[in-house]
Amino acid sequence: MQLSGNSAIAGFTVNAGKLTEALDKNPILVTALNGIIGYEKGAAIAKQAYKEGRPIRDVAKEQTDLSDAELDRLLDAAELTHGGIKA
């Protein structure tokens, strides 16, 4: 079956809330912190967040001394797509 144009996505809408929730819980986000907290600590945060179904940011806030502003800056997924990890 061949689809033409954008008929495959007609009527498709993005649930931004669900998308943000899934992104916030994605263990790969912790790589943005590894340069500051180290790989081992980052891996522990990712594992705990995944196991508990919690956002990376919440677990990182509990297990590091990073400020809210620093976590916001480092874990800004949109910003990460524009140039990688911030130190």
Number of domains in the chain: 1
Query: Which residues of the chain fall short of a pLDDT of 70?
Result: 1-8, 84-87
Owning domain of residue 50: 25-87
Residue 84 belongs to some domain of the structure: yes
Residue 20 belongs to some domain of the structure: no
pLDDT of residue 12: 83
Residue 16 belongs to some domain of the structure: no
pTM: 0.77
pLDDT of residue 58: 97
Q: What is the CATH number of the domain that holds 78?
A: 1.10.40.30
Asked if 46 and 27 touch (Cβ cutoff 8 Å), the reply is: yes
pLDDT of residue 16: 87
Residue 18 belongs to some domain of the structure: no
Residue 62 belongs to some domain of the structure: yes
Residue 19 belongs to some domain of the structure: no
Residue 46 belongs to some domain of the structure: yes
pLDDT of residue 6: 53
Asked if 45 and 56 touch (Cβ cutoff 8 Å), the reply is: yes
Summarised one tens digit per residue, pLDDT across range 39-52 is: 999 999 999 999 99
